[in-house]
Amino acid sequence: MPADLLGQMRNAAKRTNLSIADTMRQSMRLGLPKLLEELSGNDLKPFTKGECRLAYRTPNAEFDALEHHCASLPKRRPAE
DSSP states of 24-74 as a string?
HHHHHHHHHHHHHHHHS-TT--PPPHHHHHHHHHS--HHHHHHHHHHHHSP
**Burial class, 75, CB count within 10 angstroms (exposed 0-12 / middle 13-18 / buried 19+):** exposed
- Note the pLDDT tens digit of each residue in 18-77: 999 999 999 999 998 888 888 777 677 888 988 888 888 878 888 889 989 999 998 888
- Note the pLDDT tens digit of each residue in 63-72: 889 989 999 9
Could you state, in order of their start, the residue ranges of all structural domains in the chain? 3-39
pTM: 0.46
